[in-house]
Structure 1
Amino acid sequence: MNAVVFDAIKALLDEGKTPTVALTKSKLTQPIPLPVIIAAVSQYKNNPDSIHNLAKSASVTVEAGSDISQLDRIEQKLDHLLALLENKN
């Protein structure tokens, strides 16, 4: 999930609101393509616990340092999503 969209969804949850595409878009701090927003909100609605898992993985990434390349971050996210899918089955 895009970090900016993740922050917007987290902000809505902190306010006690249910994330929707429109509410999430209104909370964004920078322009994000609509399909990315829709995918993030759909992911949250399909698995509300995923937001907590993403928060944990985001904190691990920050602790690891800012030297991690974008490719490494994408690879970590893919590994995390695959692990979630394996646990679901």
Structure 2
Amino acid sequence: MEQFVIEAIKKILVQNKIPSVALIKAKLNHSVPMQTIISVLTSYKSSPNDFKSIENKKEENASENTLSHSQLDRIEMKLDKLLHLLQKQPKLGDM
């Protein structure tokens, strides 16, 4: 539940607005208890930089996933080439 509130706060911050309970509730797509909204908003107000570090960590993870994905693509291409070369070679019994 807290993650939904955190995402709503980030959307509000992107719009250069100051998060409030009303703005957060308007951004939520899910039903979240008022206590959770107030708790996360209080956490944000006491240390807004923590929310920025959460976003930075997500961006780092996304770039790592992209790197892993591109490495996997290269490995798959090499494997395809090897399989293609192996299929072209005459079998030992055919010689």
State if a TM-score over 0.5 links the two structures: yes
User: What is the aligned length?
Assistant: 65
Say if 1:4 and 1:64 are closer, same or farther in 2 by CA, change over 3 A.
farther
Give the aligned CA root-mean-square deviation in angstroms: 2.2
1:15-54 to structure 2, matched below 5 A, reads: 15-54=15-54
Structure 2 gap ranges (5+): 66-95
* TM-score in terms of structure 2 length: 0.57
Q: 1:61 Cα deviation (Å)? A: 6.9
1:1-89 to structure 2, matched below 5 A, reads: 2-58=2-58
Bigger-Rg structure (1/2) = 2
Q: 1:58 Cα deviation (Å)? A: 4.4
The whole-number CA distance in structure 2 between the counterparts of 1:24 and 1:32 is: 10
Looking at secondary structure, tell me which structure has more helix per residue: 2
How many percent of aligned residue pairs carry the same amino acid? Answer: 31
Q: Which residue is equivalent to 1:69?
A: none
